[in-house]
Homo-oligomer: A and B are copies of this chain.
Amino acid sequence: MAVLSPIAWRTPPRQYGAWETVASNITEGLVARGWDVTLFASRDSVTRAHLHAVVDKGYEEDASVDPKVAEYLHISEVFEHAGEFDLIHSHCDFMALTYSGLVRTPVLTTIHGFSSPQILPIYHKYREGYFVSVSDSDRAAGLNYLATVYNGIDLSLYPFQDRGGEDLVFLGRIHPDKGVHLAIEVARLSGMRLIIAGIVQDEAYFREQIKPHLDDQNILYIGPADVKGKNELFARARALLHLNTIPERFGLVLVEANAAGVPVIAMNLGSCREVIKDGETGFLVNDVAEAARVLGRTSEIDRWACRRRVQQRFSIDTMVEKYEQVYSTIFDLEARRRS
């Protein structure tokens, strides 16, 4: 089995890097269950699988690398070794698909999100391939989806915390899609403190819509957070605010917060409806006013119920079990094709 991880970041990433996180969790989960896995990722990656690398570092972490060159080199490499594997499980989007027609080894693509409608022509061309969506809501029409497999996290990284604090927490990329400005509005309306953590992906947005509100007291930005930093934030959190303005594809951070027992207030949009159970593990809201209103009800949420739901639906084990079912479907289909 080959797992093809992206090389924007190390696998697993040091901080941000959702696709690499999931590729890592699948790889380590498969190894734990006895699979013989080769992980194609950057050379500084950390894994119990065999590591196959042609690029030293993630191109987001190494200015000397041309991302285009690195991606062509990295992705073609797994296909040049296709004969050694029963299956290639790709997390490398449309790029990897363009090599899939040149090898006999079946290729499963987990679609972590459609970055733009401009990439759809490639998905359309290879629509007869094997695809997994990460939520029911994030699907394109006409592709041969075998299943939705929710992303799973390593629950041991996010220990349960009996009680939270009084702050609101935003965790994620600083980008308009993530509704950081809406989280600030909620903090204003509720008079609660908001702590913002994450990489700045949209500089202009940060400069114009976030930075002017920072005051070192009620609205704070603390930069990106690693696992330790996230747990510290969860300890201070009354709730995680995730008021995304476009349909979320999956939303790993919602699951991480829930694992720690933190209720999540998320927009009633996209995969949030699948990840958060309204009134049980948080609240699904339609606007800023509603978000501010439900803050008064966070004590109704049973923190253990939040963690339990993650254990049942969003753990690495659950995810890997589902992928094993998908793999065996593919092996059956391939055997039938050949006979």
Contacts and interface: CB of A to CB of B under 8 A. Distances in A.
A43 to B, nearest CB: 13
Contact of A122 (B73, B98, B102): B73
A118 B122 CA distance: 27
A8 to B, nearest CB: 14
A161 to B, nearest CB: 42
Interface string A254-278: 0000000000000000000000000
Given A79-B102, A102-B79, A118 B66 contact: yes
Contacts of A79: 102
A125 interface: yes
A69 B118 contact: yes
Tell me the number of copies of this protein. Answer: 2
A191 interface: no
B69 A94 contact: yes
Q: Is the interface of A mostly helix, strand, loop or mixed?
A: helix
Size category, A interface: 20 to 34
Interface of A: 64-66, 68-69, 72-73, 75-76, 79-80, 94-95, 98-99, 101-103, 116, 118-119, 121-122, 125
Given A66-B119, A69-B94, A69-B119, 17 more contacts: A64-B118, A65-B118, A68-B68, A68-B95, A69-B118, A72-B95, A72-B98, A73-B98, A76-B99, A76-B101, A76-B102, A79-B102, A80-B101, A80-B102, A99-B99, A99-B102, A102-B102
